[in-house]
Amino acid sequence: MNYLFGDGSIGVITFSAKGHTFEGVREKFSAHRGNVLISMDDFSNLRVEIVDRSERTRLMFRDHGHEANIRRSYEMAGPQSMGAASCAVKYVWETGDLFLKTREALESRKQLTVYPFEESPQLKMIKSR
């Protein structure tokens, strides 16, 4: 999957079916911006390189971040968020829309556009009812 964002940045996700049945799937993540290069293997080994400086972090167990993500979403939408609930709605909408459009693009093999919350055609249809 290739993503071209409104600010001109590009994201690429590559799916591969290769994996050992006993050890499970291996996951890799890489990101590059300016002088910073980040790479993560299996959600347990993280390497951050900034110009000539490098730092490594190694966890004993893989952490996909699911618990932290759910906790953050709950905290953003909760009464203690002091007005940040509208931010949570936008975040949840845009994240869900990106996920659903990615699935649709994979299934239809077509290029699709994902709009910001405020410009979303689906939201405009809901508001016009």
Whether 31 is in a domain gets the answer: yes
Q: pTM, whole model, 2 decimals?
A: 0.57
Whether 32 is in a domain gets the answer: yes
Whether 8 is in a domain gets the answer: yes
Q: How many domains does the chain have?
A: 1
68 compared with 97, residue with greater pLDDT: 97
Range of the domain at 48: 1-64
Whether 57 is in a domain gets the answer: yes
Task: Quote the strand ranges of 1-129, DSSP E.
Answer: 2-4, 10-12, 28-33, 36-41, 45-50, 53-58
Pair 36, 48: CB distance under 8 Å: yes
Average pLDDT over residues 16-23: 65
Whether 1 is in a domain gets the answer: yes
Residue 55, pLDDT score: 93
Average pLDDT over residues 28-52: 89
Tell me which amino acid residue 107 is.
Answer: E
Residue 1, pLDDT score: 83
Least confident of 30-44, 51-65, 76-90: 76-90
Residue 110, pLDDT score: 93
Whether 74 is in a domain gets the answer: no
Whether 29 is in a domain gets the answer: yes
